[in-house]
A and B are shown apart, each in its own frame.
Chain A
Amino acid sequence: MWKYVLKRVALAIFTIFIIIAITFFVMNAIPGGPFQTEKAPDPAVQKMLMQRYNLDKPLWEQFFIYLGNIFHGDFGISLKNGREISTIIGESFRISAEIGGIAIVVALIPGLIFGSLAALMRNRWEDRLIMFSSTVFVAVPSFVLATILLLIFSLKLKLIPVWTVDNPNYLLPIIALALYPMSYITRLTKSSMLDALGQDYVRTARAKGVSETRIIFKHALRNALIPVITYLGPMTAYIITGSLVVETVFTIGGLGTKFVSSINNRDYPLIMATTIFLAVLLVFLTLLSDLVYKLVDPKINFE
């Protein structure tokens, strides 16, 4: 089994390397370079700037210098306000991580509960209601949902205050982020639960007189969980990208808004750094969920 783990970790590291490489070379393909301003500075000053930022070296060297810097946590300086990017990311990610983390939990637990409920109450009104709402919610993009929630609850009904740094209210952003994954998990759980309940070992257990509750919790649920675990990776991806939008709509000062504004400002070092950071996070979490899945599924044999 450890051979498998090593293989996956090696693949993940290789992927991260490729991501950093792609980001770096793609960003540097932009003509003009980072010091392009309306007034071209004095050639001597320019030469000094290039030297200081290693821009006069060949691109390969620059790449490895950048790579080395990243390992020391140095992502460079934001073009917009000159602050250290690592500080910017550190500050804003705390907020985004909180929201994202809670959203994952909010998506998982109710999703599993609703899905199992729908499977157990099959074809009764609970099932129909749950499946209807989850089908509808899966079709609503996060930014639409976020804007509508903001409109109804914050602006029209004035029930929930708008987010500020001193008065952070996470209820609406979390709902906006979690609703899509929750609906997806509900549908997934229901079908895998139905699958598990139709298996022969469940029939055997029932014939042996095992109580229904025990069957559900001890046998069916465990197997029904497995497809959900494979969904954890894509779900994290969704929450990361969804946070870009949700944070913008609710004006939350997290990493998402920083990223969006850096795109609009063409703040290339920050764009690069955030892309790499988010991508690494994603690869890491996907790797984790893949390993957990391989551990949990008894039917998988290791290559």
Chain B
Amino acid sequence: MQMDLSKFSPASDEEKQQITQMRESTTFFKDGMRKLRKDPLAMISIAVLLLIVLTIFIAPVIVPYDYQEMIAVDGVRDRTAKNLPPFTYSENEQAAIKSGEKIFPHIFGTDQLSRDYFIRVVYGTRVSLTVGVFASIIVLIIGLIYGSVSGYFGGKVDLILMRIVDIIYALPDLLMIILLSVVLDSTLSRALEGTALANIGTNMLSIFIVFGLLYWVSMARLVRGQILSIKENEYILAAKALGAKSGRIIRKHILPNCISVIIISTALQIPAAIFTESFLSFVGLGVQAPMPSLGSLASAAREGLQSYPYKLLFPALTICLIVLSFNLLGDGLRDAFDPKLRR
């Protein structure tokens, strides 16, 4: 083969200036994040979520009420403070204000046990968000490890692991959670008394256990599928042909394609977990009273529904807002990191 070596000489300065730069070269993540920043819905969702998180951290500091504290005026429990509409004071409190005391307003009113409703909604949001995020993290870790082992090794290992996944996938999750909650409640509640876990109750534990046992399968399948399909791609072959080591291939090619799918799946798993938790609380299998949860608040609001509709609206709107934001964020992430949607 005859090669004209003069064609391979370094470019001169004037030749370099002839290159028109269409786009700056950028990494996959930077490109994805840039696209995400341009998506208005996703940005609004992030803002809303940050606002909610900020509120639940700041509110307990500002609002002087505790979630289980029944309103007391001058140390005596205030019986007229039941079921107050938002921003009103009870008679005893009004009398106290006239005599010079400063009382923090009840932003959402009070509930039937004279507890400040705003702080209860805030704590309920805390519980829901914590459960949602932690359950999703558990799902992420287990699913990621399981799926990558299965996808990377392939062959018999893959076959056996996926059969197990098939069986677990077929189990009805909610029924198992209910079952486990009922059982754990009877068996563990005595064992947990006095520990920190007693506050959240056995039901939360059973949610986490079942999430750890059942919900990771879709993540595992996703990761495995990604790894399998990426392994077949030609650029992997090309990279190997160019002499790239396995470590570099995994780092630069396999992992970035997996991560976007993983992030999106997790972002959509969180609202699903929050749904499940609020559903269980609604049915009575959620956090132990008096710790509120958005679901149990909504359930308790059913009693006085005609007279105090706002008691339902606040927790319900909060759930919808959180779930909607996560959904829009997940959608935005999916659109931003989709390599087929080049502009």
Binding site for B on A (CB under 8 A): 11-12, 14-15, 18-19, 22-23, 26-27, 29-32, 135-136, 138-144, 147-148, 150-151, 155-156, 237, 240-241, 244-245, 248-249, 260, 263-264, 266, 271, 275, 278-279, 282-283, 286
Contacts and interface: CB of A to CB of B under 8 A. Distances in A.
The prevalent SS among residues of A at the interface is: helix
Nearest to A138: B327
Interface string B308-334: 010010001001100110011000000
Interface stretch (B57-65, B72-80, B168-176, B245-253): B168-176
Contacts of A264: 284
Nearest to B327: A139
Contacts of A151: 305-306, 309, 312
B176 A22 contact: yes
Contact of A143 (B182, B282, B305): B282
The prevalent SS among residues of B at the interface is: helix
Given A139-B271, A263-B182, A263-B285, 20 more contacts: A15-B167, A18-B171, A19-B171, A26-B183, A30-B182, A135-B327, A139-B323, A140-B323, A141-B278, A141-B319, A143-B298, A144-B298, A147-B302, A147-B316, A151-B312, A241-B279, A245-B279, A275-B178, A282-B172, A283-B170
A286 B169 CA distance: 11
9 contacts: A14-B167, A22-B176, A135-B328, A139-B320, A141-B278, A143-B299, A156-B306, A279-B171, A279-B172
A92 to B, nearest CB: 16
A286 B295 CA distance: 28
Interface of B: 166-167, 170-172, 174-176, 178-180, 182-183, 186-187, 271, 275, 278-279, 282-285, 295, 298-299, 301-302, 305-306, 309, 312, 316, 319-320, 323-324, 327-328
Contacts of B271: 139
A148 B316 contact: yes
A263 B175 CA distance: 11
B175 A18 contact: no
Contacts of B284: 260, 263-264
Contacts of B171: 15, 18-19, 22, 279
Contacts of A141: 275, 278-279, 319-320, 323
A140 B278 CA distance: 11
Nearest to A14: B167
B302 to A, nearest CB: 6
A275 B328 contact: no
A15 B170 contact: yes
Contacts of B319: 141, 144
B327 A11 contact: no
Contacts of B320: 136, 139-141, 144
B279 A144 contact: no
Contacts of A12: 170
A195 B15 CA distance: 44
Given A144-B316, A282-B172, A135 B324 contact: yes
Contacts of A147: 298, 301-302, 305, 312, 316
A51 to B, nearest CB: 25
Given A31-B187, A275-B178, A248 B301 contact: no
Contacts of A248: 283
A12 B275 CA distance: 27
Contacts of B283: 244-245, 248, 260, 263
B333 to A, nearest CB: 15
Contact of B183 (A27, A138, A155): A27
B182 A266 contact: yes
A74 B170 CA distance: 25
B186 A31 contact: yes
Contacts of B172: 19, 237, 240, 278-279, 282-283
B179 A249 contact: no
B123 to A, nearest CB: 19
B169 to A, nearest CB: 9
A30 B187 contact: yes
A4 B171 CA distance: 20
Contacts of B328: 135
A245 B182 CA distance: 17
A139 B329 CA distance: 12
B199 to A, nearest CB: 22
- Closest CB pairs A-B (n = 3): A139-B324, A139-B323, A15-B170
Contact of A263 (B170, B178, B295, B327): B178
B174 A241 contact: yes
A291 to B, nearest CB: 14
Contacts of B182: 30, 263, 266, 271
A150 B302 CA distance: 10
A103 to B, nearest CB: 17
Contacts of B275: 141
Contacts of A260: 283-284
Nearest to A25: B183
